[in-house]
Structure formats: structure tokens, C-alpha cells
Amino acid sequence: MRIRIVDAFTDRPFAGNPAGVLLLDAFPDDDRLQQVALEVNHAETAFAHRLPEGGEADWALRWFTPATEVAMCGHATLATAHVLHTTGTHDGPVRFATSSGVLVATPREDGSITLDFPTAPLTPVEVPAGVADALGAEPHAVLDTGPDIGDLLIEVADEKTVHGLTPDHRALAAHSERGIIATARAEDPALGYDYVSRCFFPNVGIDEDPVTGSAHTALAPFWSERLGRADLTGLQASPRSGRVRTELRGERTLLSGRAVTVIEGELLT
């Protein structure tokens, strides 16, 4: 089996979010998929196989962290679409059959890829007891992101606060299904982004995710309402960093970015 490591939501190697990508003839058993994902040891490893022609989707797609399978992953979907297009395995838009429904990835003339994902339903909630201490910052607003994402979206005071967070990951694990999205308005939109975020997912084995496409299905409606625009750009301020262009379309959110293949090899066992 060919295995590739792709940096997603970046146009240069060693930035963005790395994902393993394996194109298969069929899915092996779940234990085998989990073992491979643990060996790859990136935030997610994507496994895909081609589906028969004439159906509602072209490829089946699943995502695994080193610890568990997840219901949705943006950066590994982008990485998979990038591999399909750069290897000539699939031309034009590709439809993925996933546990979150059919997700479409469309290549653009500028070299980017646009993902069509469901918009996360946001529900304001009371600030959970202990979350401020666990995060290391006082929340200004807290919203539940629904079952597909499984995070708490927490707005903090400003961009500087987001950059300076040093959370207690073990304590954060008690407050959501997957983790915490911390966000604030950009201090200087002239730098090319409208809001900043960081994502902490201790419950799926990822203390800090470098760039999280799925989180932007919640960040897009949150910031579109506050900033009065459907088209925005988010900076995820992890050490690797990356930018996600978002376009809110009601119940769907478009996520756009680039990807770079950095490693290609063979899985021997």
C-alpha cells in the first residue's frame, strides 16, 4: 500500500496540518486501520477506496487519530483530495462518502481545493465550572458545536490571549466530547485574516491540532454573524500555523486551502 504524508491548509512543506493518506482497494478491519493511524501518529490518517460508478459518491473515506476514529476531519479530507488530483487518480470534483454524509472537494484554478461541509449548529451555553482555569483564560462566550464536531467554542478577550494560551489538557478533557476551540477577533485584519483560533482535542489524543478544518464549520458562522460577512479567512495560530478561507452558505460551509505532499512511501506490513 502506498502511503503519503500531506501538509494541509498550507502552500509550503512543514507547515499546516500533516495527514497520512492511504488509497486502498477496500477497508480492512477497524483494528488494522487504527494500528496504521497509530504508526503514522499524525492528528489524522485518512483511508479511502473507490466506489462503483453511478452512485452518490466516488470514494469512501474514513479518518482515524492515533487513538480513535472521528466523525469529521477537514484537513485529512483536503489531503486526500490533493493526492487524488496530483496523482491523476481522479479528475474534477470528488464526492466522498463519509460518516458525516457526502462531502465534496473541488479543485480550483489557483491550486487550492474547496471542501463543502455541513455548518455546525451553534448553541450558547453557560460557562462550565472550571473551564476558565483549565483553558487559562476567561471566556467571553461559550457555544456548543453540535454532535458532528463535539467541541466547545470559546471566545476569549483578544488575539494576544489566544496566542498565549497554555491550557491544562487533562482538565480540558472533562468539558467536551472532542475538545475546545479558542478564538478571538483578529487584532489587525490588514494582515490577511479576520479571526484567530487554536484547537485543543485531548479526548481524541491530540493536545493541540495544528490546523482544523472541521472547527472552521463552527468558526465560520460564529464570526460571520459578528463581522457581517459570509467570506472570511481564519488563522489557526498553532506552532505550525495555517489559514482557512471560509464561505458561509446557510447549512453548508465552504472551506478552502492548499496542500503539499512531503513524504511518499510504501507500507510494508
Residue 144, C-alpha cell as written in the block: 456548543
Element housing 223 (H / E): helix 216-227
Contacting residues for 197 by C-beta, under 8 A, at least 6 apart: 162, 181, 182, 183, 212, 215, 216, 219, 234, 235, 236, 237
Question: Are β-strands 94-98 and 195-201 bridged in parallel, bridged antiparallel, or unpaired?
Answer: unpaired
Q: Determine the residue type at 66.
A: P
Which residues participate in catalysis according to the annotation?
Answer: 44
Q: Specify the residue for cell string 488575539.
A: 159
Contacts of 232 by beta carbon, 8 Å cutoff, 6+ apart: 194, 195, 220, 223, 224, 245, 246, 247, 248
Long-range pairs, 185-188, Cβ under 8 A, ≥24:
185/158, 185/159, 185/223, 185/226, 185/227, 186/159, 186/235, 187/158, 187/159, 187/160
Q: Residues 152-174, buried b or exposed e (16+ Cβ, 10 A)?
A: bbbbbeebebbeebebebeebbe
- Across the strands, what pairs with 236? 197, 242
